[in-house]
Amino acid sequence: MIEETIISKAIVESYLKDVLDSIESDVIIAGAGPSGLCAGYYLAKHKYKTVLFERGLKLGGGMPGGGIMFNKIVVQDEGKATLDEFGITYHQYEPGYFVADSLETTACLTEKALKAGLKIFNLVSVEDVMIREGCVTGVVINWSAVEMARLHIDPISFKSKVVIDATGHPSEIVHIVEKKSGGKLLTPSGRIEGEKSMWAEVAERLSLENTKEVYPNLYVCGMAANAVFGGPRMGPIFGGMLLSGKQVAELVMKKV
């Protein structure tokens, strides 16, 4: 015999336990695209208590869509070791160009990150941050459904030592901090420099150079790093995203 109310209680109690366990952590990541998942995997693997909030229902950000919905991604030589780390299958198309299935890549990143201990909450949007004495000290979240329905319902906050903006092109968390700090970002102009047009080679290099702290205790990685520091976009080549996620984890581990 199956009792429906036990199913309900099991889900509600288990979820609320996860929420309560996550209210204070070492690192909060906004965005479960390739860079955010990768960062979360490396941080969790090294025993940093890490919580990731993803606005969408599904994980992977822009990766499952590959290039123009052809579900393949390209990774260059530099990114190959990361594919190996996650057990992702790939083949060499031409010297230096490796092709992987974007669905397998998303699944492997997700599985490894979750198994390493990354706590992921999907359907939750980061809508603000907390700032104390010029340092980011956590995030303010709400249900994505509340955000989409534009309901006037107050959010709640989660505290962490560091926040990572892995929200991709819109670099939403840095935009919030730029607006509320009055342009005191650690960029050349103190403001968001803005994403430039496609140039894959330069973009891949800069996505690593631009992966760094952008405001005290706020780091930026992945596509958001180039959007914030003025790098170009790169199209469906994903090595830079994976390496940027790894690099931001290493930078955060040095700080925390």
Q: Would you say 141 is a known binding-site residue?
A: no
118 Cβ contact partners less than 8 Å away, ≥ 6 residues apart: 37, 40, 41, 43, 44, 50, 51, 52
Residue 251 CB neighbour total at 10 angstroms = 18
The contact mask relative to ligand 48H for 236-255 (x = CB under 6 A, - = no) is --x--x--------------
Radius of gyration of the chain (CA): 18
List the one residue from 118, 120, 220, 234 that touches ligand 48H (CB under 6 A): 234
Q: Give Cα 200 to chain centroid, integer Å.
A: 21
Whether residue 190 is annotated as binding a ligand: the answer is: no
Q: Find the binder of ligand 48H among 120, 126, 218, 249 (CB under 6 A).
A: 126
- 54 binds ligand 48H, rule: CB under 6 A: yes
Q: How far is the CB of 31 from ligand 48H (least distance, A)?
A: 3
Residue from 41, 42, 55, 90 binding ligand 48H (CB under 6 A)? 55
* Number of residues this chain uses to bind ligand 48H (CB under 6 A): 30
**Is residue 62 a contact residue for ligand 48H (CB under 6 A)?**
yes
DSSP three-state, residue 123 = coil
Q: How far is the CB of 67 from ligand 48H (least distance, A)?
A: 9
- Work out the end-to-end distance of the chain between its first and last CA atoms, rounded to an integer number of angstroms: 50
187 part of the interface to ligand 48H, by CB under 6 A: no
Give CA–CA dist 132/147, Å, rounded. Answer: 25
Q: Which residues make Cβ contacts (< 8 Å) with residue 48, sequence separation at least 6?
A: 26, 27, 252, 253, 256
Measured CA distances, 231 to 35, 204, 238, 239, 243 (Å): 16, 9, 15, 16, 16
The nearer residue to ligand 48H, 155 or 216, going by C-beta atoms, is 155
Check if the beta carbon of residue 251 is closer than 8 Å to that of residue 201.
Answer: no
DSSP three-state, residue 232:
strand
150 is in an annotated binding site: no
Task: Please enumerate in sequence order all residues whose Cβ is within 8 A of that of 95, keeping only pairs 6 or more positions apart, or say none.
Answer: none
Residue written as token pair 């190996």: 84
191 marked among binding-site residues: no
Question: What mask of x and - would describe binding to ligand 48H in positions 190 to 229, judged by CB under 6 A?
Answer: --------x-----------------------xxx-----
235 near ligand 48H, judged by CB under 6 A: yes
- Residues 7-36 close enough to bind ligand 48H by CB under 6 A: 30-36
Is 61 a binding residue for ligand 48H by CB under 6 A? The answer is yes
Cβ distance 230 to 196 under 8 Å?
A: yes
Q: Does 166 bind ligand 48H (CB under 6 A)?
A: yes
Q: Does the annotation list 205 as a binding residue?
A: no
Residues forming the site for ligand 48H (CB under 6 A): 30-36, 53-56, 61-63, 125-126, 166-169, 172, 198, 222-224, 233-235, 238, 241
